[in-house]
Amino acid sequence: MKIIVVGCGRLGSELIYRLFQHGHEITVVDVKPSAFDKLPPDFIGRLNEGDAMNQEVLHRAGIEQAEALAAVTSSDAINLVIGHIASQIYHVPKIVARNFEPNCCSIFDCFGMQMIASSSWGAQRLEEMLYQSDVRSVFSAGNGEVEIYELTISAMWAGHPLIDILTVDGCIVAALTRAGRAILPQNDTILGVGDIIHVSATFEGIDALRYKLGVSPKE
């Protein structure tokens, strides 16, 4: 895939190298030539110094042939404008932008632009990691509004039907794995020690489920 990444800071350089390692054809744009020094020495791609809001710079980066664009500078305004230009003028099929300031999230929504709020998402993940280790996130959708969590059934809940632990809002069971074999469980599926449950849940839902799992079934 031909991908343009605008912004070669800490986040941008990490993204660029990951995309390169997966075999994509990467073009990097940044206003500071020194920013390219953050890329590993084995990176192979096109480096373009300049302001990406200048159409000449975008032409030089190959915007007409781009299949995807990531705007990941530290300026929300720049990311919004570049993403909007790429979408509305050049019709780039896939566009994602970085949201730097949490209070600007609503503006991205108004533009209908897919974005990652790195600070909000990171804060939520850190908060989750401070909680119990028996429930961990394995997949995050959007900006973490809904995630897939993995939890292991303890002896306290063994012998009880699945429905007994799902009397909380904001949780849906996606799968149950037992002895290495995954199934789509029913509400009356009896839980066993060591069963692994994958749950799709909101942050509030998984917080309630954590509490539920820590309470005896008799309480």
How does pLDDT run across 159-181, given as a tens digit for each residue? 999 998 887 888 999 999 998 89
Would you call 144 helix, strand, or coil by DSSP? coil
**2-120 topology per CATH:** Rossmann fold (3.40.50)
Q: Sign of dihedral through CA atoms 156, 159, 160, 166?
A: positive
Q: What are phi and psi of 34, to 5 degrees?
A: -65, -20
Q: Determine the average pLDDT of the residues in 51-62.
A: 93
The Cα–Cα gap between 116 and 144 comes to: 9
Whole-structure pTM value: 0.63
| Domains of the chain by residue range | 2-120, 127-213
CA torsion 60-63-65-66 (nearest 10°) is: 120
> Residue 21 — very low, low, confident or very high, per pLDDT cuts 50/70/90?
very high
Assigned CATH for 127-213:
3.30.70.1450
